[in-house]
Chains A and B, each alone.
Chain A
Protein backbone atom coordinates (compact mmCIF):
# COMPACT_ATOMS: atom_id res chain seq x y z
CA UNK A 1 0.00 0.00 0.00
CA UNK A 2 1.55 3.19 -1.10
CA UNK A 3 0.20 6.69 -0.59
CA UNK A 4 1.78 7.77 -3.86
CA UNK A 5 -0.34 5.24 -5.70
CA UNK A 6 -3.43 6.76 -4.12
CA UNK A 7 -2.55 10.40 -4.45
CA UNK A 8 -1.14 10.48 -7.98
CA UNK A 9 -0.52 13.81 -9.68
CA UNK A 10 -3.58 13.38 -11.91
CA UNK A 11 -5.81 12.89 -8.86
CA UNK A 12 -4.34 15.79 -6.93
CA UNK A 13 -4.79 17.98 -10.02
CA UNK A 14 -8.43 16.98 -10.52
CA UNK A 15 -9.02 17.26 -6.75
CA UNK A 16 -7.69 20.80 -6.61
CA UNK A 17 -8.97 21.98 -9.99
CA UNK A 18 -12.04 19.91 -10.71
CA UNK A 19 -13.35 20.04 -14.29
CA UNK A 20 -17.04 20.56 -15.06
CA UNK A 21 -17.85 21.50 -11.47
CA UNK A 22 -21.01 23.51 -12.17
CA UNK A 23 -24.56 23.06 -13.39
CA UNK A 24 -24.19 22.36 -17.10
CA UNK A 25 -26.35 24.34 -19.54
CA UNK A 26 -29.67 22.81 -20.44
CA UNK A 27 -29.29 19.69 -18.33
CA UNK A 28 -32.32 17.41 -18.57
CA UNK A 29 -31.40 14.85 -15.95
CA UNK A 30 -29.85 15.01 -12.52
CA UNK A 31 -29.42 12.98 -9.35
CA UNK A 32 -27.95 13.36 -5.89
CA UNK A 33 -25.65 11.10 -3.91
CA UNK A 34 -24.64 11.06 -0.26
CA UNK A 35 -22.07 9.32 1.81
CA UNK A 36 -23.80 9.76 5.20
CA UNK A 37 -20.91 8.32 7.19
CA UNK A 38 -18.56 11.11 6.26
CA UNK A 39 -20.79 13.79 4.78
CA UNK A 40 -19.64 13.64 1.14
CA UNK A 41 -22.28 15.00 -1.20
CA UNK A 42 -22.51 15.04 -4.98
CA UNK A 43 -25.09 16.29 -7.46
CA UNK A 44 -24.64 15.11 -11.05
CA UNK A 45 -26.25 16.94 -13.99
CA UNK A 46 -26.40 15.69 -17.56
CA UNK A 47 -27.86 16.47 -20.91
CA UNK A 48 -28.84 13.31 -22.70
CA UNK A 49 -30.09 13.74 -26.28
CA UNK A 50 -32.68 11.69 -28.15
CA UNK A 51 -29.95 9.35 -29.41
CA UNK A 52 -29.03 8.68 -25.78
CA UNK A 53 -25.71 10.40 -26.13
CA UNK A 54 -24.30 12.27 -23.13
CA UNK A 55 -23.95 15.72 -24.70
CA UNK A 56 -22.85 17.33 -21.49
CA UNK A 57 -22.22 16.28 -17.91
CA UNK A 58 -21.20 18.16 -14.81
CA UNK A 59 -21.32 17.93 -11.04
CA UNK A 60 -21.48 19.95 -7.86
CA UNK A 61 -20.56 18.75 -4.42
CA UNK A 62 -18.14 18.57 -1.58
CA UNK A 63 -15.87 15.80 -0.47
CA UNK A 64 -12.34 14.52 -0.22
CA UNK A 65 -9.72 14.69 -2.96
CA UNK A 66 -10.61 11.17 -4.11
CA UNK A 67 -14.34 11.83 -4.45
CA UNK A 68 -13.93 15.20 -6.16
CA UNK A 69 -11.20 13.89 -8.50
CA UNK A 70 -13.26 10.84 -9.36
CA UNK A 71 -16.31 12.98 -10.17
CA UNK A 72 -14.19 15.33 -12.25
CA UNK A 73 -12.51 12.48 -14.16
CA UNK A 74 -15.90 10.87 -14.74
CA UNK A 75 -17.32 14.00 -16.36
CA UNK A 76 -14.28 14.32 -18.65
CA UNK A 77 -14.44 10.72 -19.78
CA UNK A 78 -18.18 10.35 -20.15
CA UNK A 79 -18.87 13.62 -21.92
CA UNK A 80 -19.77 12.91 -25.55
CA UNK A 81 -20.11 9.14 -25.09
CA UNK A 82 -23.22 7.10 -25.86
CA UNK A 83 -25.03 6.12 -22.71
CA UNK A 84 -24.43 2.41 -23.35
CA UNK A 85 -20.70 3.01 -23.69
CA UNK A 86 -20.75 5.19 -20.59
CA UNK A 87 -22.49 2.42 -18.69
CA UNK A 88 -19.82 -0.04 -19.81
CA UNK A 89 -17.08 2.35 -18.64
CA UNK A 90 -18.84 2.63 -15.29
CA UNK A 91 -19.01 -1.16 -14.90
CA UNK A 92 -15.35 -1.46 -15.80
CA UNK A 93 -14.45 1.30 -13.36
CA UNK A 94 -16.34 -0.32 -10.47
CA UNK A 95 -14.75 -3.69 -11.26
CA UNK A 96 -11.31 -2.09 -11.30
CA UNK A 97 -11.87 -0.85 -7.73
CA UNK A 98 -13.38 -4.15 -6.63
CA UNK A 99 -11.01 -6.73 -8.07
CA UNK A 100 -8.24 -4.73 -9.68
CA UNK A 101 -9.17 -5.68 -13.27
CA UNK A 102 -8.05 -3.26 -15.96
CA UNK A 103 -10.75 -1.41 -17.89
CA UNK A 104 -11.10 -2.86 -21.39
CA UNK A 105 -13.05 -0.34 -23.41
CA UNK A 106 -11.97 0.04 -27.04
CA UNK A 107 -13.48 3.47 -27.32
CA UNK A 108 -11.28 4.98 -24.62
CA UNK A 109 -8.28 6.92 -25.88
CA UNK A 110 -4.85 6.25 -24.37
CA UNK A 111 -5.15 9.49 -22.50
CA UNK A 112 -8.56 8.54 -21.08
CA UNK A 113 -7.22 5.15 -20.11
CA UNK A 114 -4.33 6.71 -18.20
CA UNK A 115 -6.69 9.10 -16.46
CA UNK A 116 -9.15 6.44 -15.36
CA UNK A 117 -6.29 4.14 -14.31
CA UNK A 118 -4.99 6.87 -11.99
CA UNK A 119 -7.85 5.91 -9.67
CA UNK A 120 -6.85 2.23 -9.56
CA UNK A 121 -4.75 2.81 -6.42
CA UNK A 122 -7.96 3.39 -4.45
CA UNK A 123 -8.51 -0.37 -4.46
CA UNK A 124 -5.71 -0.66 -1.89
CA UNK A 125 -7.67 1.55 0.49
CA UNK A 126 -11.01 -0.20 1.08
CA UNK A 127 -12.39 2.65 3.21
CA UNK A 128 -11.99 5.00 0.28
CA UNK A 129 -13.62 2.95 -2.49
CA UNK A 130 -17.00 4.52 -1.66
CA UNK A 131 -15.52 7.99 -2.11
CA UNK A 132 -14.39 7.06 -5.61
CA UNK A 133 -17.61 5.38 -6.73
CA UNK A 134 -20.19 7.84 -5.35
CA UNK A 135 -20.31 10.16 -8.38
CA UNK A 136 -20.43 7.23 -10.82
CA UNK A 137 -23.41 5.60 -9.12
CA UNK A 138 -25.07 9.00 -9.03
CA UNK A 139 -24.49 9.43 -12.78
CA UNK A 140 -26.32 6.14 -13.38
CA UNK A 141 -29.25 7.24 -11.24
CA UNK A 142 -29.47 10.50 -13.20
CA UNK A 143 -29.33 8.79 -16.59
CA UNK A 144 -31.93 6.22 -15.62
CA UNK A 145 -34.28 8.75 -13.99
CA UNK A 146 -33.88 7.04 -10.64
CA UNK A 147 -35.14 9.66 -8.21
CA UNK A 148 -33.75 7.90 -5.16
CA UNK A 149 -30.76 9.65 -3.62
CA UNK A 150 -27.68 7.43 -3.90
CA UNK A 151 -26.57 6.37 -0.44
CA UNK A 152 -23.22 4.63 -0.04
CA UNK A 153 -24.46 2.85 3.08
CA UNK A 154 -27.35 1.01 1.40
Chain B
Protein backbone atom coordinates (compact mmCIF):
# COMPACT_ATOMS: atom_id res chain seq x y z
CA UNK B 1 0.00 0.00 0.00
CA UNK B 2 1.43 3.35 -1.04
CA UNK B 3 0.60 5.73 1.80
CA UNK B 4 2.23 8.66 0.03
CA UNK B 5 -0.07 8.17 -2.89
CA UNK B 6 -3.12 7.83 -0.64
CA UNK B 7 -2.09 10.97 1.24
CA UNK B 8 -1.79 12.89 -2.04
CA UNK B 9 -5.53 12.40 -2.51
CA UNK B 10 -6.16 14.74 0.44
CA UNK B 11 -5.83 18.38 -0.71
CA UNK B 12 -5.29 19.67 2.84
CA UNK B 13 -1.82 18.14 2.96
CA UNK B 14 -0.61 20.39 0.17
CA UNK B 15 -0.99 23.36 2.52
CA UNK B 16 1.59 24.40 5.09
CA UNK B 17 0.77 25.13 8.72
CA UNK B 18 2.93 27.94 10.09
CA UNK B 19 5.31 27.24 7.24
CA UNK B 20 5.59 23.58 8.24
CA UNK B 21 4.32 20.38 6.72
CA UNK B 22 1.02 19.37 8.34
CA UNK B 23 1.31 16.34 10.60
CA UNK B 24 -2.33 15.57 11.26
CA UNK B 25 -2.80 13.43 14.36
CA UNK B 26 -6.37 14.40 15.21
CA UNK B 27 -8.42 11.97 13.14
CA UNK B 28 -10.32 10.64 16.17
CA UNK B 29 -11.70 14.15 16.41
CA UNK B 30 -12.38 14.44 12.69
CA UNK B 31 -10.64 12.97 9.68
CA UNK B 32 -9.46 14.95 6.66
CA UNK B 33 -11.38 14.65 3.39
CA UNK B 34 -10.15 13.17 0.11
CA UNK B 35 -10.64 15.22 -3.06
CA UNK B 36 -13.22 12.76 -4.43
CA UNK B 37 -15.54 13.60 -1.54
CA UNK B 38 -15.02 17.35 -1.83
CA UNK B 39 -15.52 17.23 -5.60
CA UNK B 40 -18.60 15.05 -5.33
CA UNK B 41 -20.40 17.59 -3.14
CA UNK B 42 -19.50 20.37 -5.54
CA UNK B 43 -20.57 18.32 -8.57
CA UNK B 44 -23.82 17.31 -6.98
CA UNK B 45 -24.71 20.93 -6.30
CA UNK B 46 -23.61 21.94 -9.82
CA UNK B 47 -25.36 19.21 -11.78
CA UNK B 48 -27.80 17.07 -9.85
CA UNK B 49 -29.17 18.96 -6.91
CA UNK B 50 -32.75 19.26 -5.82
CA UNK B 51 -34.62 18.19 -2.73
CA UNK B 52 -35.10 14.44 -2.41
CA UNK B 53 -38.21 12.31 -2.08
CA UNK B 54 -40.73 15.07 -2.72
CA UNK B 55 -40.94 16.50 -6.22
CA UNK B 56 -41.77 14.75 -9.51
CA UNK B 57 -39.27 16.49 -11.79
CA UNK B 58 -36.20 14.83 -13.25
CA UNK B 59 -33.70 16.47 -10.93
CA UNK B 60 -35.66 15.27 -7.91
CA UNK B 61 -35.55 11.72 -9.23
CA UNK B 62 -31.78 11.90 -9.81
CA UNK B 63 -31.10 13.46 -6.42
CA UNK B 64 -33.31 10.92 -4.65
CA UNK B 65 -31.56 8.07 -6.41
CA UNK B 66 -28.11 9.37 -5.46
CA UNK B 67 -29.23 9.92 -1.88
CA UNK B 68 -30.69 6.44 -1.54
CA UNK B 69 -27.62 4.90 -3.18
CA UNK B 70 -25.64 6.04 -0.15
CA UNK B 71 -28.03 4.10 2.07
CA UNK B 72 -27.43 0.97 0.01
CA UNK B 73 -23.69 1.46 0.11
CA UNK B 74 -23.75 1.80 3.90
CA UNK B 75 -25.98 -1.25 4.23
CA UNK B 76 -23.41 -3.29 2.35
CA UNK B 77 -20.45 -1.61 4.07
CA UNK B 78 -21.67 -2.73 7.50
CA UNK B 79 -23.49 -5.83 6.25
CA UNK B 80 -26.88 -4.86 7.64
CA UNK B 81 -29.75 -7.16 6.75
CA UNK B 82 -32.15 -4.48 5.48
CA UNK B 83 -31.60 -1.05 3.94
CA UNK B 84 -34.39 0.27 6.20
CA UNK B 85 -32.09 -0.32 9.13
CA UNK B 86 -29.89 2.62 8.06
CA UNK B 87 -31.12 5.95 9.45
CA UNK B 88 -29.44 9.23 8.55
CA UNK B 89 -28.88 11.58 11.46
CA UNK B 90 -26.92 14.80 11.77
CA UNK B 91 -24.17 13.04 13.73
CA UNK B 92 -23.53 10.05 15.97
CA UNK B 93 -24.65 12.12 18.94
CA UNK B 94 -28.08 12.51 17.38
CA UNK B 95 -28.18 8.76 16.75
CA UNK B 96 -27.75 8.07 20.48
CA UNK B 97 -30.23 10.81 21.36
CA UNK B 98 -32.72 9.26 18.96
CA UNK B 99 -32.47 5.91 20.74
CA UNK B 100 -32.48 7.47 24.21
CA UNK B 101 -35.58 9.49 23.36
CA UNK B 102 -37.65 6.91 21.49
CA UNK B 103 -36.56 3.72 23.26
CA UNK B 104 -36.62 5.64 26.52
CA UNK B 105 -40.14 6.89 25.85
CA UNK B 106 -41.48 3.44 25.18
CA UNK B 107 -39.47 1.10 27.37
CA UNK B 108 -37.84 2.94 30.27
CA UNK B 109 -39.72 3.35 33.52
CA UNK B 110 -38.81 4.70 36.95
CA UNK B 111 -35.83 2.79 38.46
CA UNK B 112 -35.07 0.93 35.24
CA UNK B 113 -31.34 0.60 34.71
CA UNK B 114 -28.99 1.49 31.88
CA UNK B 115 -25.43 0.22 31.94
CA UNK B 116 -22.67 2.29 30.37
CA UNK B 117 -18.91 2.29 31.08
CA UNK B 118 -16.40 4.71 32.54
CA UNK B 119 -14.80 4.92 29.09
CA UNK B 120 -17.78 6.55 27.41
CA UNK B 121 -17.68 9.79 25.47
CA UNK B 122 -20.14 12.37 26.83
CA UNK B 123 -22.32 11.59 23.80
CA UNK B 124 -22.95 8.14 25.28
CA UNK B 125 -23.70 9.46 28.77
CA UNK B 126 -25.53 12.79 28.57
CA UNK B 127 -28.51 11.43 26.54
CA UNK B 128 -28.98 8.74 29.24
CA UNK B 129 -28.67 11.39 31.91
CA UNK B 130 -31.63 13.17 30.31
CA UNK B 131 -33.54 9.93 30.63
CA UNK B 132 -32.48 9.71 34.26
CA UNK B 133 -33.93 13.18 34.82
CA UNK B 134 -37.07 12.58 32.76
CA UNK B 135 -37.96 9.02 33.66
CA UNK B 136 -36.08 8.26 36.85
CA UNK B 137 -33.77 5.79 35.12
CA UNK B 138 -30.65 4.63 36.96
CA UNK B 139 -27.29 4.81 35.16
CA UNK B 140 -24.69 2.27 36.20
CA UNK B 141 -21.03 2.63 35.21
CA UNK B 142 -19.01 -0.47 34.46
CA UNK B 143 -15.53 0.19 35.81
CA UNK B 144 -12.41 0.36 33.70
CA UNK B 145 -9.09 -0.78 35.12
CA UNK B 146 -5.64 0.82 34.92
CA UNK B 147 -5.01 -0.68 31.49
CA UNK B 148 -8.14 1.05 30.27
CA UNK B 149 -10.03 -2.24 29.94
CA UNK B 150 -13.62 -2.90 30.92
CA UNK B 151 -13.89 -6.56 31.79
CA UNK B 152 -16.94 -8.58 30.93
CA UNK B 153 -17.31 -9.32 34.66
CA UNK B 154 -17.55 -5.64 35.54
CA UNK B 155 -20.55 -5.43 33.22
CA UNK B 156 -22.00 -8.78 34.31
CA UNK B 157 -22.12 -7.84 37.97
CA UNK B 158 -24.20 -4.73 37.22
CA UNK B 159 -26.94 -6.61 35.40
CA UNK B 160 -30.23 -7.02 37.26
CA UNK B 161 -33.77 -7.74 36.15
CA UNK B 162 -34.21 -3.96 35.81
CA UNK B 163 -31.44 -3.59 33.21
CA UNK B 164 -33.08 -2.24 30.07
CA UNK B 165 -30.07 -1.36 27.92
CA UNK B 166 -26.31 -1.72 27.72
CA UNK B 167 -24.62 1.16 25.87
CA UNK B 168 -20.88 0.87 25.28
CA UNK B 169 -18.25 2.31 23.02
CA UNK B 170 -16.62 0.19 20.32
CA UNK B 171 -13.22 1.83 20.79
CA UNK B 172 -12.33 4.29 23.57
CA UNK B 173 -11.48 7.70 22.18
CA UNK B 174 -8.91 8.18 24.97
CA UNK B 175 -7.23 4.85 25.77
CA UNK B 176 -7.90 3.34 22.35
CA UNK B 177 -9.30 0.22 24.05
CA UNK B 178 -11.14 -2.03 21.64
CA UNK B 179 -14.06 -3.37 23.65
CA UNK B 180 -14.94 -7.09 23.71
CA UNK B 181 -18.21 -6.46 21.87
CA UNK B 182 -19.04 -10.06 20.99
CA UNK B 183 -18.74 -11.14 24.63
CA UNK B 184 -20.85 -8.20 25.81
CA UNK B 185 -23.53 -8.87 23.20
CA UNK B 186 -23.57 -12.61 23.96
CA UNK B 187 -23.97 -11.86 27.65
CA UNK B 188 -26.72 -9.32 26.99
CA UNK B 189 -28.58 -11.76 24.76
CA UNK B 190 -28.76 -14.38 27.46
CA UNK B 191 -30.60 -11.77 29.54
CA UNK B 192 -32.57 -10.34 26.59
CA UNK B 193 -31.05 -6.87 27.06
CA UNK B 194 -30.56 -4.73 23.96
CA UNK B 195 -27.09 -3.33 23.26
CA UNK B 196 -26.15 0.02 21.73
CA UNK B 197 -22.64 0.51 20.39
CA UNK B 198 -21.05 3.95 20.01
CA UNK B 199 -19.04 3.15 16.89
CA UNK B 200 -17.46 6.56 16.28
CA UNK B 201 -13.92 5.26 16.78
CA UNK B 202 -14.70 1.81 15.37
CA UNK B 203 -16.37 2.38 12.01
CA UNK B 204 -13.50 4.33 10.37
CA UNK B 205 -10.94 1.67 11.29
CA UNK B 206 -12.45 -1.78 11.78
CA UNK B 207 -14.44 -4.07 9.48
CA UNK B 208 -18.08 -4.08 10.54
CA UNK B 209 -20.62 -6.84 10.11
CA UNK B 210 -23.93 -6.02 11.78
CA UNK B 211 -25.44 -9.43 11.13
CA UNK B 212 -22.51 -11.19 12.72
CA UNK B 213 -22.09 -8.69 15.56
CA UNK B 214 -25.83 -8.83 16.21
CA UNK B 215 -26.04 -5.66 18.30
CA UNK B 216 -29.33 -3.77 18.45
CA UNK B 217 -28.05 -0.26 17.72
CA UNK B 218 -24.75 1.02 16.27
CA UNK B 219 -24.00 4.70 15.67
CA UNK B 220 -21.40 6.15 13.32
CA UNK B 221 -19.93 9.55 12.66
CA UNK B 222 -19.36 10.14 8.93
CA UNK B 223 -16.95 13.04 9.37
CA UNK B 224 -14.57 10.67 11.15
CA UNK B 225 -14.81 8.34 8.13
CA UNK B 226 -13.27 10.69 5.54
CA UNK B 227 -16.76 12.05 4.99
CA UNK B 228 -18.52 15.41 5.30
CA UNK B 229 -19.62 16.95 8.59
CA UNK B 230 -23.32 16.99 9.44
CA UNK B 231 -23.97 13.32 8.76
CA UNK B 232 -24.27 10.47 11.20
CA UNK B 233 -25.69 7.01 10.81
CA UNK B 234 -27.83 5.04 13.18
CA UNK B 235 -28.02 1.35 12.45
CA UNK B 236 -30.91 -0.26 14.31
CA UNK B 237 -32.35 -3.73 14.02
CA UNK B 238 -35.58 -3.65 12.07
CA UNK B 239 -37.64 -5.03 14.94
CA UNK B 240 -36.77 -1.94 17.01
CA UNK B 241 -37.49 0.48 14.21
CA UNK B 242 -40.93 -1.05 13.82
CA UNK B 243 -41.61 -0.73 17.53
CA UNK B 244 -40.13 2.66 18.36
CA UNK B 245 -42.17 5.86 18.02
CA UNK B 246 -40.97 8.61 15.63
CA UNK B 247 -38.20 10.91 16.90
CA UNK B 248 -38.72 14.39 15.49
CA UNK B 249 -41.90 15.51 13.76
CA UNK B 250 -42.10 17.42 10.50
CA UNK B 251 -42.21 17.09 6.77
CA UNK B 252 -41.19 13.90 5.05
CA UNK B 253 -41.88 11.59 7.99
CA UNK B 254 -45.67 11.36 7.77
CA UNK B 255 -48.08 8.90 6.21
CA UNK B 256 -51.37 10.73 6.47
CA UNK B 257 -52.09 14.02 8.23
CA UNK B 258 -55.61 14.80 9.46
CA UNK B 259 -56.82 17.46 11.85
CA UNK B 260 -57.50 14.89 14.52
CA UNK B 261 -54.77 12.36 13.84
CA UNK B 262 -51.48 11.70 12.06
CA UNK B 263 -50.12 8.37 10.92
CA UNK B 264 -46.52 7.58 10.20
CA UNK B 265 -44.70 5.50 7.59
CA UNK B 266 -42.15 2.80 8.29
CA UNK B 267 -38.43 3.18 8.84
CA UNK B 268 -36.30 4.91 7.68
CA UNK B 269 -38.80 7.62 6.66
CA UNK B 270 -40.38 7.63 10.11
CA UNK B 271 -37.10 8.77 11.65
CA UNK B 272 -35.92 11.26 9.02
CA UNK B 273 -37.94 14.44 9.53
CA UNK B 274 -37.34 17.47 7.36
CA UNK B 275 -34.80 17.97 4.59
CA UNK B 276 -31.62 16.16 5.45
CA UNK B 277 -28.01 17.00 4.60
CA UNK B 278 -28.59 15.91 1.04
CA UNK B 279 -25.30 16.90 -0.59
CA UNK B 280 -23.26 15.64 2.34
CA UNK B 281 -25.04 12.30 2.32
CA UNK B 282 -24.43 11.99 -1.44
CA UNK B 283 -20.80 13.01 -0.81
CA UNK B 284 -20.46 10.37 1.88
CA UNK B 285 -21.00 7.68 -0.74
CA UNK B 286 -17.58 8.66 -2.09
CA UNK B 287 -16.06 8.24 1.38
CA UNK B 288 -17.36 4.68 1.53
CA UNK B 289 -16.00 4.01 -1.95
CA UNK B 290 -12.68 5.58 -0.93
CA UNK B 291 -12.45 3.30 2.11
CA UNK B 292 -13.50 0.25 0.12
CA UNK B 293 -10.99 0.95 -2.64
CA UNK B 294 -8.20 0.86 -0.08
CA UNK B 295 -9.88 -1.97 1.86
CA UNK B 296 -10.92 -1.52 5.48
CA UNK B 297 -8.72 -4.46 6.51
CA UNK B 298 -5.72 -2.75 4.90
CA UNK B 299 -6.59 0.42 6.82
CA UNK B 300 -6.72 -1.54 10.10
CA UNK B 301 -3.40 -3.17 9.32
CA UNK B 302 -1.63 0.06 8.36
CA UNK B 303 -2.91 1.98 11.37
CA UNK B 304 -1.96 -0.89 13.67
CA UNK B 305 1.59 -0.77 12.36
CA UNK B 306 1.87 3.01 12.89
CA UNK B 307 0.22 2.80 16.33
CA UNK B 308 2.68 0.11 17.42
CA UNK B 309 5.58 2.18 16.11
CA UNK B 310 4.22 5.20 17.99
CA UNK B 311 3.83 3.26 21.23
CA UNK B 312 7.34 1.90 20.97
CA UNK B 313 8.79 5.33 20.24
CA UNK B 314 6.88 7.20 22.95
CA UNK B 315 7.54 4.49 25.55
CA UNK B 316 11.25 5.12 25.03
CA UNK B 317 10.74 8.82 25.68
CA UNK B 318 11.22 9.11 29.44
CA UNK B 319 9.17 12.26 29.82
CA UNK B 320 6.06 10.64 28.33
CA UNK B 321 3.42 8.60 30.17
CA UNK B 322 0.98 6.75 27.95
CA UNK B 323 -2.59 6.46 29.19
CA UNK B 324 -3.84 2.90 29.39
CA UNK B 325 -2.32 -0.29 28.09
CA UNK B 326 -5.19 -2.24 26.58
CA UNK B 327 -4.51 -5.62 24.98
CA UNK B 328 -6.41 -4.58 21.86
CA UNK B 329 -5.80 -0.96 20.90
CA UNK B 330 -7.23 1.14 18.09
CA UNK B 331 -5.37 3.96 16.34
CA UNK B 332 -5.22 6.21 19.41
CA UNK B 333 -2.41 7.11 21.80
CA UNK B 334 -3.17 9.49 24.66
CA UNK B 335 -0.35 10.69 26.85
CA UNK B 336 0.91 13.21 29.35
CA UNK B 337 4.32 14.81 29.75
CA UNK B 338 5.61 15.29 33.28
CA UNK B 339 5.36 18.92 34.34
CA UNK B 340 3.69 20.18 31.17
CA UNK B 341 -0.04 20.67 30.82
CA UNK B 342 -1.58 19.09 27.69
CA UNK B 343 -2.71 22.51 26.39
CA UNK B 344 0.83 23.74 26.46
CA UNK B 345 1.92 20.55 24.70
CA UNK B 346 -0.69 21.16 21.96
CA UNK B 347 0.44 24.76 21.44
CA UNK B 348 4.11 23.81 21.21
CA UNK B 349 3.39 20.88 18.86
CA UNK B 350 1.25 23.14 16.70
CA UNK B 351 4.29 25.34 16.21
CA UNK B 352 5.84 22.36 14.40
CA UNK B 353 2.72 21.75 12.31
CA UNK B 354 1.72 18.79 14.51
CA UNK B 355 -2.04 18.77 15.13
CA UNK B 356 -3.11 16.81 18.21
CA UNK B 357 -5.98 17.29 20.63
CA UNK B 358 -5.54 18.29 24.25
CA UNK B 359 -8.17 18.32 26.96
CA UNK B 360 -10.58 15.79 28.39
CA UNK B 361 -11.76 14.67 24.93
CA UNK B 362 -15.37 14.73 26.14
CA UNK B 363 -14.49 12.03 28.69
CA UNK B 364 -14.47 13.76 32.07
CA UNK B 365 -15.56 10.59 33.90
CA UNK B 366 -12.54 8.69 32.58
CA UNK B 367 -10.09 11.52 33.29
CA UNK B 368 -11.40 11.81 36.83
CA UNK B 369 -10.93 8.06 37.24
CA UNK B 370 -7.33 8.28 36.02
CA UNK B 371 -6.85 11.31 38.26
CA UNK B 372 -5.78 13.85 35.64
CA UNK B 373 -7.74 16.86 34.37
CA UNK B 374 -6.61 16.52 30.78
CA UNK B 375 -4.43 14.58 28.38
CA UNK B 376 -2.81 14.98 24.98
CA UNK B 377 -4.02 12.66 22.24
CA UNK B 378 -2.48 11.58 18.97
CA UNK B 379 -4.93 9.72 16.76
CA UNK B 380 -4.31 8.24 13.34
CA UNK B 381 -5.86 7.97 9.92
CA UNK B 382 -4.88 6.18 6.74
CA UNK B 383 -2.64 9.12 5.73
CA UNK B 384 -0.27 8.87 8.69
CA UNK B 385 3.21 7.43 8.43
CA UNK B 386 6.10 6.54 10.72
CA UNK B 387 7.64 9.86 9.75
CA UNK B 388 4.67 11.62 11.39
CA UNK B 389 5.45 9.75 14.61
CA UNK B 390 9.10 10.76 14.39
CA UNK B 391 8.11 14.42 14.02
CA UNK B 392 5.69 14.05 16.95
CA UNK B 393 8.44 12.61 19.10
CA UNK B 394 10.87 15.39 18.17
CA UNK B 395 8.23 17.95 18.93
CA UNK B 396 7.61 16.37 22.35
CA UNK B 397 11.31 16.80 23.05
CA UNK B 398 10.90 20.45 22.12
CA UNK B 399 8.17 20.79 24.77
CA UNK B 400 10.70 19.72 27.36
CA UNK B 401 13.20 22.26 26.04
CA UNK B 402 10.68 25.13 26.11
CA UNK B 403 9.77 24.23 29.68
CA UNK B 404 13.41 23.69 30.73
CA UNK B 405 12.51 20.16 31.89
**Given A6-B347, A64-B344, is A38 in contact with B403 using a C-beta cutoff of 8 Å?**
no
Interface residues of B in 1-39 (CB under 8 A from A): 18
Of B340, B348, B373, B402, the contact of A39 (CB 8 Å cutoff):
B373
User: Separation in Å of the B62 CB from the closest CB of chain A?
Assistant: 42
Which residues on the B side are within 8 Å of A41 (C-beta)?
373
Q: Does B374 contact A (CB under 8 A)?
A: yes
The residues of A that contact B343 with a CB separation of less than 8 Å are 38, 40, 63-64, 66, 128, 131
Nearest-neighbor residue (CB-CB) of A68 within chain B: B341
A37 to chain B, nearest CB (A): 6
Complex: how many Å from CA A41 to CA B360?
13
User: Taking the nearest CB of chain A, how far is it from the CB of B339, in angstroms?
Assistant: 7
**Cross-interface CB contact of A3 among B340, B348, B359, B367, cutoff 8 Å:** B348
**For chain A residues 1-59, which have a beta carbon within 8 Å of chain B?**
1, 3, 6-7, 12, 16, 37-41
Would you call A38 and B360 a contact (CB within 8 A)?
yes
A77 at the interface (CB under 8 A from B): no
CB contact between A63 and one of B339, B341, B367 (< 8 Å): that residue: B341
CB contacts (< 8 Å) of B347 on chain A: these are 3, 6, 125, 127-128
Question: Which of B340, B344, B351, B358 is packed against the most chain A CB atoms within 10 Å?
Answer: B344
CB-CB under 8 A from A38, the residues of chain B are: 343, 358-360, 374
B364 touches A39 (CB 8 A): yes
Instruction: Tell me which residues across on chain A come within 8 A of B403, comparing CB atoms.
Output: 7, 12, 65
B contact residues, total (Cβ < 8 Å):
20
Judge whether A62 is part of the interface by a CB distance below 8 angstroms: yes
Q: Give Cα A8–Cα B262 distance, bound, in whole angstroms.
A: 66
The CB with the most chain A CB atoms within 10 A, among B342, B343, B359, B367, is that of: B343
Given contacts A16-B339, A41-B373, contact A65 B359 (CB under 8 A): no
Q: A104 → chain B, closest Cβ, in Å?
A: 29
CA distance A66 to B351 in the complex (A): 16
Q: Determine if B58 is an interface residue (Cβ-Cβ < 8 Å).
A: no
- Interface band, chain A: 20 to 34
B46 on interface, CB distance cutoff 8 Å: no
Q: Which residues of A contact B360 (CB under 8 A)?
A: 38-39
Q: Which residue of A lies closest to B360 (CB)?
A: A39
Inter-chain CA distance A1–B344, complex, in Å, is 15
Interface membership of B404, Cβ < 8 A = yes
A41 and B18 alpha carbons, distance in the complex (Å): 30
In-complex Cβ contact of A7 among B339, B358, B402 (8 A): B402
Min distance, Cβ B118 to any Cβ of chain A, angstroms = 16
Instruction: Please report whether the interface of chain B is mostly helix, strand, loop or mixed according to DSSP.
Output: mixed
Whether A39 pairs with B351 at a CB distance below 8 angstroms is no
Q: Are A3 and B351 in contact (CB under 8 A)?
A: yes
Known: A7-B403, A39-B367. A64 touches B351 (CB 8 A): no
CB distance from B323 to the nearest CB of A (A): 15
Distance between A9 CB and nearest chain B CB, rounded to angstroms: 9
**What B residues does A64 contact at CB under 8 A?**
341-344
**CA distance in complex: A1, B20 (Å):** 13
Report the Cα distance A131→B403, complex, angstroms.
Answer: 18
**Least Cβ distance of A4 to chain B in Å?**
8
Known contacts being A38-B343, A65-B340, is A3 close to B374, with CB within 8 Å? no
> Complex: how many Å from CA A127 to CA B359?
13
- Cβ–Cβ < 8 Å partners of B340 in chain A: 65
CB pair A39 B404 closer than 8 Å? no
User: Which residues of A have CB within 8 Å of B342?
Assistant: 64
Report whether A39 and B341 are in contact in the complex, using a CB–CB cutoff of 8 Å: no
**Complex contacts, B367 vs chain A, CB 8 Å:** 39
Q: What CA separation (Å) do A70 and B347 show in the bound complex?
A: 17
Residues of A within 8 A of B358 (CB): 38
Q: How far is the CA of A42 from the CA of B164 in the complex (A)?
A: 39
Q: Which residue of A lies closest to B348 (CB)?
A: A3
B404–A65 touching, CB < 8 Å: no
**Chain B hits for A125, CB < 8 A:** 347
Complex-state Cα separation, A6 to B347, whole angstroms? 10
Q: A37 to B373, Cβ gap below 8 A?
A: no
Determine the chain A residues whose CB is within 8 A of the CB of B344 once the complex forms. 7, 64-66
Q: In the complex the two chains form, what is the Cα distance from A122 to B347 in whole Å?
A: 11
Q: Which residue of B lies closest to A2 (CB)?
A: B351
Report the minimum CB–CB distance from B196 to chain A (whole Å): 25
CB distance from B106 to the nearest CB of A (A): 33
**CB nearest neighbor in A for B345:** A64
A114-131 Cβ-contact flags toward B at 8 Å (1 or 0): 000000000001011001
Residues of A near B359 (CB, < 8 A) are 37-39
User: Which A residues, 60 to 93, have Cβ-Cβ distances below 8 Å to chain B?
Assistant: 62-66, 68
Q: A64-B341, A66-B344, A131-B343 are in contact. List 13 more A-B contacts (CB 8 A).
A: A1-B351, A7-B344, A7-B402, A38-B360, A39-B360, A39-B364, A39-B373, A39-B374, A63-B341, A63-B343, A63-B373, A64-B343, A128-B347
The 5 nearest A-B residue pairs measured at CB: A64-B343, A64-B341, A38-B359, A39-B360, A39-B373
- The contact sample of 7 A-B pairs, CB cut-off 8 A, is A3-B351, A7-B344, A7-B403, A63-B343, A64-B343, A66-B343, A128-B343
